[in-house]
Amino acid sequence: MQTYEQSSTVKSMSILVVENLSKVYPVAVKEPGLKGTLTHFFRRTYRSVKAVQDVSFEIGMGEVVGFLGPNGAGKTTTLKMLTGLIHPSSGRVRVAGHIPFQRQADFLQKITLVMGQKQQLLWDLPAMDSLKINAAVYGMSKKEFRHRVGELTEMLSLEDKLTQPVRKLSLGERMKAELLAALLHQPQVLFLDEPTLGLDVNAQVGVRDFLREYNRLTGATILLTSHYMADITALCQRVLLIYAGQLIYDGSLDGLVDRFAPYREVKVELANPLPEDKLSNFGELQAVEGREVRFLVRREGLTSVVSRILAELEVIDLTVTEPPVEEVIGRVFRAGVAS
């Protein structure tokens, strides 16, 4: 059963409005064997695949919102509809006052799309050459171009990097240069699809710090998809969860844990290792590594379970924490419902 919680964080002026958005793809069906091949060639039959189903949400100006879901859930399809790259099958979308698929020039000036697995910079040329092309496309004056490049170069710590061929930059430097190119025209709405994909830990932190500061300084609205939960927890107070094309949660990150994780994580350091069969009756056993044991315990029974652990086991240390956010989300997706 679909569960939808309207976020209370949406501000009075919404820059992004999505109402009952759906995308259905016709997929050709081919029977096996020679007969199936011939039939497929001369008279094809199709089935409908619902990539996105009746998704609705609003995002206020200046919000940074995480957009989460497993592979194939419909995240990228939704982003492509929001940026006008594909036409929705049904529903209504307005971004910065525009209908995206009309691709009006004023709309394109107000948005940007960054995909971590794609690049817009020319591989064998210095990044500065690509930036000059972008500036010409957006009709920027030389003065405005120099100001924007200088400002973003300092924020991204890309000094002396823009004159090098893109292929000679590190992966982290390339991603920062891609962000610079995408933000050169100072868009109001940023659609970021896996912007830290494949980056090392330091580069990921650098991109997160930049996005946080950019949002603070410019008030830009950001819709962010990522498989790295550290990106979401560092940047987003609100998250949207999509599963099998349906929006199953819209609310705060803390509310996500409260709703879908009715348990606490209990970590115990024992005086001596014990077999799993002597530990399993204290809670849902998550991990046993030597003397360190990790349980999941339902909140309502937490006090009694902790008392039993302290009374029945030789405990050196015990801590109670919220389970990791990525574990909570993983459970939601494995269950396939928001219950």
Q: Which domains does the chain carry?
A: 14-258 (3.40.50.300), 262-321 (3.30.70)
Helix or strand or coil: residue 242? strand
pLDDT on residue 338: 47
Q: State mean pLDDT over 324-339.
A: 66
Single out the residue of 55, 42, 50 nearest to residue 4, CA to CA: 55
> pLDDT of 216-260, one tens digit each?
999 999 999 988 888 999 999 999 999 889 999 999 988 887 777
pLDDT on residue 322: 77
What pLDDT band is residue 6 in, cutting at 50, 70 and 90?
very low
Single out the residue of 288, 295, 291 nearest to residue 314, CA to CA: 291
Distance CA 163, CA 129 (A): 8
Q: State mean pLDDT over 24-45.
A: 84
Q: State mean pLDDT over 303-327.
A: 88
Q: State mean pLDDT over 276-292.
A: 89
pLDDT on residue 101: 94
Mean pLDDT value across the chain: 88
Of 338 and 302, the one with more pLDDT: 302
297, 283 contact by CB (below 8 A): yes
Of 50 and 253, the one with more pLDDT: 50
Q: Long-range contacts of range 288-293, CB-CB < 8 Å, 24 or more positions apart?
A: 291/316, 292/267, 292/268, 293/267, 293/268, 293/269
> pLDDT of 127-148, one tens digit each?
999 999 999 999 999 999 999 9
Using alpha carbons only, what angle is made at residue 31 by residues 26 and 36, rounded to the nearest 5 degrees? Answer: 115
Residues in CB range of 215: below 8 A, 6 or more apart: 62, 64, 222, 235
> pLDDT of 61-113, one tens digit each?
999 999 998 888 899 999 999 999 999 999 999 999 999 999 999 999 999 99
Is the predicted pLDDT of residue 193 greater than 80, yes or no? yes
For residue 312, what are the β-bridge partners?
A: none
pLDDT on residue 252: 92
What pLDDT band is residue 8 in, cutting at 50, 70 and 90?
very low
pLDDT on residue 336: 58
236, 224 contact by CB (below 8 A): yes
For residue 45, what are the β-bridge partners?
A: 29
Q: State mean pLDDT over 280-305.
A: 89
* Range in 4-13, 18-27, 197-206, 259-268 the model is least confident about: 4-13
pLDDT on residue 335: 65
pLDDT on residue 35: 81
What pLDDT band is residue 339 in, cutting at 50, 70 and 90?
very low
pLDDT on residue 1: 35
